[in-house]
Structure 1
Amino acid sequence: MSVLPSAGGPPLGKYLASTDKKTRDKAIKSLSLFLSDGQNAISKPDMDKLWKGIFYCFWMSDKPLVQQGLATELAELILTITTTSGSLLFLRGFWETTVREWNGIDRLRIDKYYMLIRRFVNATFRLLLRSRWDKASCQEYNDILTGEGGPLCSGDIRVPASLAYHIADIYVEELDKALGGVSLPSPAPLAILLEPFFTLAARTPTAVTYKRIQNALLDPLFTALVHEQFPEDEPPKSKRIRLAAETPSSSHLVSNACYSDSEEGPINGSILKKKLLRRIFEVASHPDTRDSNRRKMYALWKESYEEEPDDE
């Protein structure tokens, strides 16, 4: 069976989107073998056709265990590819196709696509961790998320807001899982990894999106970073207590995070929080930041920064 369109056979997309599960399974295995060969390259038009087929391959999976297994198998393809640049090209195809096809997903299928996104976010963190958080690769990933057609693009009205909401909900959790999956991981550079959300918070035209980013991602993250810094006889303020009770500990992330340079090693959570808040202040000060969002970001900086002790 041909993996990509060729003069002598049908395109792989036809097999991937087959109504027969055995045919789809064979197509995925063939694709995995193709991607694992570093000599093979995929053009942009072929990548678009390939991802159309993959998207509907997942569409056709109709049993929970089958869906979970296929979601994991598809996400692991990112790590099957032998070069980080090739993996990111494949990932770009995933996000472009997901954004393009999202509004056509019915309510009975939407949960399994949320699961697929979770698997891809986790696999991407493991890819970047494998590259020791190479800055060029991290920046390319950020461009995939925030560029035109990306799920966190603030200026593209075609991008469904629900995608940004879901990514914000799962981002820290999946990063923590990725870090917990290896021994002695390179510290995650949070300033780089969070930049897409800082940018979206600054530029989103909707108050709901800003609120979701702060409530689902920033507040829980900041709480996790400082929660373990306080001994039991010196509890944090009431707001932090409430958030801590509602927030997973993210222990792997807390002990393996840095600001922007993994080579410097992990840093104290309270200090890291203050550095990230300073970055939020800088983004808020940018002329492209919407005035209403600027006020909210300044308020977040002021409230969160001033309640921290001066550890530096």
Structure 2
Amino acid sequence: MTAIASSSNAAPPLSKYLASTEKKTRDKAIKTLSVFLSDESRDEIPKFEMTKLWKGIFYCFWMSDKPLVQQALASELADLVLTTPNTSSALSFLNGFWETVVREWNGIDRLRLDKYLMLVRRFVNVSFRLLLRNDWDLKTCQDYNAILTNEGGPLCPTDGRVSVGLVYHIADVYLEELEKVLRSSDTDTSKPVPLVTLLSPFFILAARTPLGTTFNHLQSSLIEPLLSSYEDDPRARKRRRVDTSSQDTYPSILSNACLDDASVEVKLSTNLLRKKILRRLFEVASHAETRDANRRKLYALWKAEKEDDDVSDEE
């Protein structure tokens, strides 16, 4: 087999080896890539090289078969993010992933869809691990949010290429994967997770999406379960017909969250954080960029949740 090597300090291993029909060649290419990314002395990969690299990685995963092989490869690919010692380079690698997923998603056939859903879940998880490694640094969180919401990102409200199914899946797994990361970390000594900062891409998408179905999915799968988990009074949750068992769904998030900036904020009580999340939704609804139909829905959601808080206080 031809030796796999990088021809330049800035250029990653050739993508043709990653997309080889031979599993041994693909496996060796991934290991070579891991060594390349872990080199602290290398230059940052140029965007056009990153695009080529990720096309090769995407089809490397495309060629993988058998569930256990796919699971192992998905974890190995996601862990490449943490192999990269420089945060800027790691974010660039994540940006390459999301742009490739958005570009290629509609071409994934039904038989391969499940494994790509798993891959997306792994990358949502490793993104949180990268942010945790940086102590939830505000700028790093904002830079990652920009990757998600800018043109080419999976949560961009104006990019017509983004598959609705991809948006739904990210919304479905986002809080689950954040909970897993917090549960597996030393949350007693780490800085609090800036919950609203991490969720701002979804709030922006809810405000600006032209699709009513997308708004409804974000509300039912992410926003309402989150608010419900912060509801102290289970009777209020029953009035809204929310699953009362969901209060235990995100215990690590509930006990280790602040609002926006982990470097200056402390962990907030569940009741106070819930009120601040509601306030932030109200503020997002009032933005000039918010679509009128979405503004009405956000105000209605805010009003219903606020009224439940008031009734709970009276009771």
TM, length-normalised to structure 1: 0.93
| 1:62 is the counterpart of 2:44 | no
User: Cα deviation per residue 1:210-248 (whole Å; 9 max; x = unaligned)?
Assistant: 00101000111111122xx34xxx744423563223575
- The count of aligned residue pairs is 305
CA distance in 2, matches of 1:162, 1:5: 38
Q: Hey, which bits of structure 1, 4+ residues long, moved more than 6 A?
A: none
Check 1:63–1:209 CA distance in 2 against 1; reply closer, same or farther (3 A cut).
same
Partner of 1:295: 296
CA distance in 2, matches of 1:248, 1:168: 19
CA distance in 2, matches of 1:283, 1:186: 26
| 1:105 is the counterpart of 2:111 | no
Q: Does the 8 Å CA contact 1:3/1:31 hold for their aligned counterparts?
A: no
| 1:139 is the counterpart of 2:151 | no
Q: Does the 8 Å CA contact 2:12/2:33 hold for their aligned counterparts?
A: no
Check 1:247–1:157 CA distance in 2 against 1; reply closer, same or farther (3 A cut).
farther
SS of residue paired to 1:71: helix
Q: Does the 8 Å CA contact 2:4/2:17 hold for their aligned counterparts?
A: no
Partner of 1:168: 171
CA distance in 2, matches of 1:251, 1:239: 22
Partner of 1:33: 35
Q: Does the 8 Å CA contact 2:137/2:261 hold for their aligned counterparts?
A: no
User: Cα deviation per residue 1:228-269 (whole Å; 9 max; x = unaligned)?
Assistant: x34xxx744423563223575211111111111224221111
CA distance in 2, matches of 1:79, 1:108: 30
Partner of 1:279: 280
Deviation (angstroms), 1:92: 0.2
CA distance in 1, matches of 2:204, 2:290: 8
Partner of 2:21: 19
CA distance in 2, matches of 1:170, 1:5: 38
Partner of 1:205: 210
Unaligned runs of 5+ in 1: none
Cα RMSD after superposing both structures: 2.0
Amino acid at match of 2:304: E
Partner of 1:191: 196
CA distance in 1, matches of 2:193, 2:13: 40
User: Cα deviation per residue 1:79-118 (whole Å; 9 max; x = unaligned)?
Assistant: 1100111110000000001111111110000110000000
SS of residue paired to 2:135: coil
Amino acid at match of 1:189: P
Q: Does the 8 Å CA contact 1:3/1:34 hold for their aligned counterparts?
A: no
CA distance in 1, matches of 2:210, 2:59: 32
Check 1:3–1:300 CA distance in 2 against 1; reply closer, same or farther (3 A cut).
farther
SS of residue paired to 1:242: coil
TM, length-normalised to structure 2: 0.92
Q: Does the 8 Å CA contact 1:55/1:97 hold for their aligned counterparts?
A: yes
Q: Report the more deviating stretch, 119-128 or 264-273.
A: 264-273
Q: Report the more deviating stretch, 58-67 or 33-42.
A: 33-42
Q: Report the more deviating stretch, 79-88 or 240-249.
A: 240-249
CA distance in 2, matches of 1:249, 1:239: 19
Q: Does the 8 Å CA contact 1:225/1:270 hold for their aligned counterparts?
A: yes
